[in-house]
């Protein structure tokens, strides 16, 4: 029987687990997600959101070619923030994509233009191996020079009509999220994260949980909470985050409200370095920060060597 369903738009069920809309494809690189925004057809203009780990550069190029054709670089690269797991592949990608600009919030510039390290990660937050190892994660700075530009002050997003950026600090000082009002699609970076314990992803289930930002790097927990409140107020119905599968469904704002309601008791790490007092930063980088939790200090011995190794392996090298 002839039907008229051939032109039907893709349903959720056809989207991959990390994708948030038919023109917003997500891809996981080891443990962090990047997003490709654009109609998936050869020659289509597109934008890359975040750049994952350095060893993901080849996968990003390959996926881009699959979605948008060969020799079709993005119009821009947008960064939610500059942590090593979100900018690692930039250096190799920029060598190939020689004219592609990067955009980030002005408060992330010190870490992307070689001025300042991020406040150090806090292994005292607990919660698992990632946190425990976090003391050796690279904190930058990277130096992308003039390739990285500030996002427009009016909230518009370069090369992405219909989207706007929202300042969502707390996890990083200039952390931003990207939102498309038309279909309420949100790219939240690390403002909050998602784990989907269900293999089925098309329908939201009660087993799906949202979490706060990755704790070891979060430097201002009250700001992080306010940021999630601001995102909940947007009523998003589909969200991709830096870590975990995409969350899609009309329950998402309620899940965000729930996350906010339990944020202090469930997400803020007891006794963490930044739990009671945030680190302060400005356009130049770190202004002041709370003292490290004591056992952390002992580990500072030899940190340079290990940070250097990890930066080389995962974060790319600094341009000197
Ligand atoms: Zn981060
Ligand atoms: Zn992250």
Instruction: State the distance from the centre of ligand 1 to the C-alpha of 109, rounded, in angstroms.
Output: 15
d(CA 7, ligand 2 centre) in Å: 37
Ligand 2 geometric centre to CA of 30 (Å): 11
Residue 50 is predicted with a pLDDT of: 98
Nearest by Cα to 246 from 235, 254, 238, 256: 238
pLDDT bucket at 96, cuts 50 / 70 / 90: very high
With a cut of 90, say whether residue 5 has pLDDT above it.
no
pLDDT at 294 over 90: no
- Domain assignment present for residue 6? The answer is no
The answer to whether 35 and 186 are in contact (CB under 8 A) is no
Residue 317 confidence (pLDDT) = 45
Grade residue 138 by pLDDT with cuts at 50, 70 and 90: confident
Categorize the per-residue pLDDT at 122 as very low, low, confident or very high, splitting at 50, 70 and 90.
confident
Q: Ligand 2 centre and the CA of 214: distance in Å?
A: 7
Question: Domain with 20 in it: what CATH number?
Answer: 3.60.15.10
Average pLDDT over residues 285-298: 74
Total number of domains in the chain: 1
Q: Residue 220 falls within a domain, yes or no? A: yes
Domain that holds residue 57: 12-319
Quote the DSSP letter at residue 313.
I
CA of 5 to the centre of ligand 1 (A): 41
Q: What is the mean pLDDT of the chain?
A: 86
Q: How far does residue 92's CA lie from ligand 2's centre (Å)?
A: 19
Q: Which ligand is nearest to the CA of 83?
A: 1
Asked if the model's pLDDT at residue 191 lies above 50, the reply is yes
Assigned domain for 89 exists: yes
Query: What confidence tens digit (pLDDT) does each residue in 225-282 have?
Result: 999 999 999 999 999 999 989 999 999 999 999 999 999 999 998 888 998 899 999 9
Asked if residue 1 is part of any domain, the answer here is no
Flag whether 3 is in a domain: no
Ligand nearest to the CA of 224: 1
In a 10 Å sphere around its CB, with 0-12 CB exposed, 13-18 middle and 19+ buried, how is residue 246 labelled?
A: buried
Residue 2 placed within a domain:
no
Closest Cα partner for 238 from 204, 214, 285, 213?
A: 204
């Amino acid at each position: 029987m002839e039907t008229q369903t051939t032109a039907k738009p893709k349903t959720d069920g056809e989207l991959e687990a990390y994708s948030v809309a038919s023109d917003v494809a997500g891809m996981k690189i080891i443990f962090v997600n990047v997003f490709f925004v654009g109609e998936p057809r050869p020659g289509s203009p597109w934008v890359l959101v975040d750049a994952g780990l350095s060893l993901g550069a080849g996968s990003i190029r390959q996926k881009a070619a699959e979605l948008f054709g060969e020799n079709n670089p993005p119009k821009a690269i947008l960064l939610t923030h500059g942590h090593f797991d979100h900018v690692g592949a930039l250096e190799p990608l920029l060598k190939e994509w020689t004219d592609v600009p990067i955009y980030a919030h002005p408060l992330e510039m010190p870490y992307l233009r070689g001025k300042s390290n991020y406040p150090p990660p806090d292994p005292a937050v607990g919660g698992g191996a990632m946190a425990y190892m976090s003391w050796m994660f690279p904190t930058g700075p990277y130096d992308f020079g003039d390739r990285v530009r500030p996002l427009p002050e009016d909230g518009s997003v370069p090369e992405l009509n219909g989207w706007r950026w929202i300042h969502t600090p707390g996890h990083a000082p200039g952390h931003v999220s990207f939102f498309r009002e038309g279909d309420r699609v949100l790219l939240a970076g690390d403002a909050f994260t998602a784990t989907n314990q269900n293999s089925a992803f098309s329908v939201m289930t009660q087993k799906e949980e949202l979490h706060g930002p990755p704790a070891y790097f979060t430097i201002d927990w009250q700001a992080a909470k306010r940021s999630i409140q601001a995102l909940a107020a947007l009523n998003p119905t589909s969200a991709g985050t830096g870590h975990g599968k995409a969350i899609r469904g009309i329950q998402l704002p309620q899940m965000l409200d729930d996350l906010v309601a339990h944020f202090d008791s469930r997400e803020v790490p007891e006794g963490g370095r930044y739990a009671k007092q945030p680190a302060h930063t400005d356009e130049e980088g770190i202004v002041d920060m709370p003292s490290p939790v004591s056992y952390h200090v002992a580990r500072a011995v030899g940190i340079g060597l290990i940070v250097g190794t990890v930066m080389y392996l995962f974060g790319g090298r600094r341009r000197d």
